[in-house]
Chain A
Amino acid sequence: MDFEFNDDQLSLRDAVARWVDKGFGFERRHAIAKQGGHTREVYRELAELGLTGLAVSEAHGGMGFGAIEAMVVMEELGRGLVNAPYASAALVAPCVLAKASAEVQSAWLPRIASGEALVVLAHQERAARYRLNQVATSAQRAAGQWQLSGHKSVVPAADEADAFIVPARTSGHGDDAHGIGLFLVEKGAAGTHIQGYATQDGARAGELKLAGTPATLIEEDALPTLEQAGDVGIAAACAEGVGVMDKLVALTVEYMNTRKQFGTTLATFQALRHRMADVKMQLELGRSMSYFASLKLGESAAARRRALSQAKVQLGHSMRFVGQQCTQLHGGIGVTDEYIGSHYFKRLTMLEMTFGDTLHHLGEVSARMTDTTGVFA
C-alpha cells in the first residue's frame, strides 16, 4: 500500500506541466475555444512530447505505460485545461484496438502512438444516455464486408478525427448484452456524414451519421471490451477532474486572499472559510477516488466496474460542488467569460456527464452492491 509516485511518473508529470506552462496559456486556449475548439495542432504538440504513445505497447511504437501514468498525464492536462481529445484518442482507443487482429493493430497503433492518426470512440446514441449496451446502430455483412448504419452523437473531435471506433449491433436489439460489435470506421468512408461543432467547454465534438458505411471489425460480441474502454474513460475523467479542481481551488484561494470587501480580504470571513473547508473535503475525497479508479482498472470486470462507478459518483459530487462553490466564492467575476475560473467550472460540469453521470453511476453502485463494503471488498 503506497500512494507515492515513482521517478518516471514524476518526470512525466513535470514534462506535461512544463509544456502547459510554456505553450498552453489561457490566452491560447481561449482563442482556440473562440474559433470552434479545433485542437489538432495542440494534439500534435502532445504527440511531440510522446504522450500519444503512452498507452500503446512498445511493440507498436508506444511507451506501454499503465493506468497510473495515464492518471498523472490527465491530472496535468486538467490543471492546464487542455481541450484536446487526449483521453478518447490516446487512452480509450488503444484499449479497444488491443483487441483487434494483428493486422489492424499494426495498421493503426503505430500511427496512434506517433499522433499521426486521431482515432476516437464514437459510442453515444441519442436514446441510450449512458447505457453502453443500448445500441441501435446496426452492422450488416454483405459480400464479406461489414456495413454500419446509425447515428452517433457528441463524438469527440469528430470532424478532426481520422477514424472512429463504433459499437454496432450484429445481432439482437435494444439493450441486449450480446450482439454488440466494435468496428473501425475511417474518415471519408462511403456513407459517412459528419457535422462538427464547438462544445460548452471550449473543445470540439460532432455528429457521426453512418449509412451503409464500410467498416473493419475489431471484435465481435464486444460489450466487455466496450465496458472496459468506458472504465478507462471514467478513470481519465476522474483524473482530469482532479487536475481541474486543483487549479480552480488554487485560483479561488488566491482570489480570496486578494479581494477585499468590508475593508478586509474575503479569506477572513468565517462563512467563506468554512465553504473552502468543504471544498477542500470534496477535492481530497475526489483525489482519493481518482486514485482508486486508476488503481482498480486492472481488476476483474465485476470488481472493476463496481469500483469505477463508485469513483465516478464521488467525482461527480466533488466536481459539481467544487465548481459551483468556487464560482460562488468569486462573486461577479466568477460568472464572466473573461475570467479563467469560469472555464474550469464549465469543464468540470461537462466532465460529470462524460462516461456516465452521477445518478447513472449511483444506480450502478446500487445494482452492484454486495454485503460487504470497502476498498478491498
Chain B
Amino acid sequence: MDLNFTAEELAFRHDVRQWVADNLPKDISHKVHHALRLSRDDMQRWAKILGKKGWLASGWPKAFGGPGWSAVQKHLFEEECARAGSPRIVPFGPVMVAPVIMTFGTPEQQQRFLPGIASGEVWWSQGYSEPGAGSDLASLKTRAERRGDKYIVNGQKTWTTLAQFGEWIFCLVRTSTEGKPQTGISFLLIDMKSPGITVRPITMLDGEPEVNEVFFDSVEVPAENLIGEENKGWTYAKHLLAHERTNIADVNRAKREIERLKRIAKAEGVYDEARFRDQIALLEVDIVALEMLVLRVLSAEKSGKQSLDIAGLLKIKGSEIQQRYSELMMLAAGPFTQPYVREAMEAGWQGDWFARFGICAPLAGNYFNFRKTTIYGGSNEVQRNIVAQTVLG
C-alpha cells in the first residue's frame, strides 16, 4: 500500500502541467475559473489544441493514435487540465463514441471517423434519450428501417447536449420490435446535415440552451454507418457506459471548484463564520473521500484486478458533490445572486453592476444548471439500483 505516485508518474504530471500552462489560452481559463459562459469556439479551440498535441484522445490506445496512457496517467492529465482551468472535454466524440468505433466498428469506419474525433475537428452529439425513454432507455422508439443500402430514420431524441453545434450524432435506434426491448436496438452514426433533421434548443432553468430536441423525419442514413451488427446496439452502448468510470466522478473539477467556493466565501465575508465554514469543511471531507475512492478504482485497474464493486458509487457521490458546491457558492453570495443579467455571464462585461456583484453573477444559474447532474448519465436512483444489485444480488 502506498498513497504516493511513482517518480515516473510525478514526472509525467510535471510535464503535463508545464504544457497546459503554456498552451491553455488565458481568455478561456479565465472564463472557466469564473464560471462564465463558454462559446462553441472556446470549447473547440481548446479541443483542437489538445488534438494537435494528440491528447484529446487521452484514453485511446496507441494503435488508434492515442497516447496509450495508463489509467493513472489519464487521471493525472485530467487533474492538471482541471486545475489549470481548462474547459471539460466535450466527451461525446473522444470519450464516448470513439471507444465503440474502435471496439465494434469496421476498419473503414475507424479510418473514416476516428481522425476527425482525435483532432477535435468534428463535433459529435449523443442521441440516446427520447421523450418516452429516459431512465428506461431501452424503451426508445426512434425507428430505423432498412431499405436497400440505407436506413430510413423517423423519431425524436431529446436532452441532446450541445446538439446545436453537432456535426455528427451517434444514435440508438429501434430496428426490431421482436423480443425484449434491448434486443431490437441498433447503433447508428448519422450526419447531422442530412435532410430531415431538425434541431430545436430547449431553454433550461438557468436560461441557457444547453440541450436540444432532435427530430428525424425520414432521414436517409447509409447502411455503412451502422456499427457492428443490427440489433446489437444495446451491448455496444453498455460497453460505452462501462468505459468511462472514474471520469464521471469529476473529482478533479471538484477540487478546483471548492477553491473557488473558498474565494467566494471569503469575498462575501462568510468564510470565518463557523456555521458556514463547517459546511465547507464537510464538503472538503466529501471531496477527499471521493478522491480516495477514485484512486482505489485506478489502483485496481493498474494492478489488473477485476474492477472493484465501487465504480458505481462514483457517479452518485461525484454528482452530489457538484450540486453541493454549486449550492454553497450560491448561499455564500446570498441575495446578490438574485439579479438575472445574462450579459454578466460574458467575459469582459463591465457594467456598473459588475463591479458590485460580478462574482455572484453566475452562481444561481450554476446552481440551477447543476440539478442536472443527479439526473443525467443514468439518474442517481438508477445508479442506486445498480449498486444495490452488486450488494444484494
A277 at the interface (CB under 8 A from B): yes
With A273-B384, A292-B288 known to touch, is A256 a contact of B392 (CB < 8 Å)?
yes
A372 at the interface (CB under 8 A from B): yes
A65 nearest CB across to chain B (Å): 13
B284: which of A277, A280, A365 is its contact (CB, 8 Å)?
A365
B287: which of A1, A270, A295, A373 is its contact (CB, 8 Å)?
A373
B124 nearest CB across to chain A (Å): 32
Chain A neighbourhood of B6, CB < 8 A? 1
A262 at the interface (CB under 8 A from B): no
Chain B neighbourhood of A369, CB < 8 A? 262, 277, 280-281, 284
**Is B9 within 8 A of A1, CB to CB?**
yes
Chain A neighbourhood of B281, CB < 8 A? 313, 362, 365-366, 369
A268-308 CB contact bits vs B (8 Å, 1 = yes)? 00100110111111001100110110111000000000000
A375 at the interface (CB under 8 A from B): yes
A253: which of B3, B259, B313, B391 is its contact (CB, 8 Å)?
B391
| Bound form: Cα–Cα A77–B385 in Å | 32
Chain A neighbourhood of B72, CB < 8 A? 1
Tell me the nearest residue of chain A to B310, going by C-beta: A284
**Is A288 within 8 A of B289, CB to CB?**
yes
Chain B neighbourhood of A296, CB < 8 A? 3
| Bound form: Cα–Cα A149–B63 in Å | 74
Chain B neighbourhood of A277, CB < 8 A? 316, 383-385, 387-388, 391
A337 at the interface (CB under 8 A from B): no
B296 nearest CB across to chain A (Å): 5
Interface residues of chain B, those whose CB is within 8 Å of chain A, are: 1-6, 9, 72, 255, 258-259, 262, 274, 277-278, 280-282, 284-285, 287-293, 295-296, 298-300, 302-303, 305, 310, 313, 316-317, 381, 383-385, 387-388, 390-393
Number of A-B pairs, beta carbon distance below 8 Å: 142
Chain A neighbourhood of B291, CB < 8 A? 374-375
Other than the given A1-B302, A2-B303, A292-B289, 10 more pairs (CB < 8 A) read A1-B298, A2-B2, A267-B392, A274-B385, A276-B388, A276-B392, A277-B388, A280-B391, A281-B316, A363-B278
| Bound form: Cα–Cα A225–B290 in Å | 30
A257 at the interface (CB under 8 A from B): yes
Tell me the nearest residue of chain A to B5, going by C-beta: A1
A339 at the interface (CB under 8 A from B): no
Chain B neighbourhood of A257, CB < 8 A? 392-393
Tell me the nearest residue of chain A to B258, going by C-beta: A373
**Is B392 within 8 A of A253, CB to CB?**
yes
A68 at the interface (CB under 8 A from B): yes
A314 at the interface (CB under 8 A from B): yes
B317: which of A4, A5, A285 is its contact (CB, 8 Å)?
A285
Chain A neighbourhood of B284, CB < 8 A? 310, 365, 369, 373
B contacts with A: majority SS: helix
B283 nearest CB across to chain A (Å): 8
**Is B288 within 8 A of A373, CB to CB?**
yes
A374: which of B288, B383, B393 is its contact (CB, 8 Å)?
B288
B308 nearest CB across to chain A (Å): 8
**Is B292 within 8 A of A1, CB to CB?**
no
Q: List 18 A-B contacts (CB under 8 A).
A: A1-B3, A2-B1, A4-B299, A253-B392, A270-B385, A273-B385, A278-B384, A280-B387, A281-B317, A289-B292, A292-B288, A292-B289, A310-B288, A365-B284, A369-B277, A373-B259, A374-B287, A375-B291
Tell me the nearest residue of chain A to B76, going by C-beta: A1
Chain A neighbourhood of B310, CB < 8 A? 284
A295: which of B3, B274, B305 is its contact (CB, 8 Å)?
B3
| Bound form: Cα–Cα A291–B293 in Å | 10
Tell me the nearest residue of chain B to A2, going by C-beta: B2
Chain A neighbourhood of B298, CB < 8 A? 1
With A1-B2, A1-B9, A2-B302 known to touch, is A310 a contact of B391 (CB < 8 Å)?
no
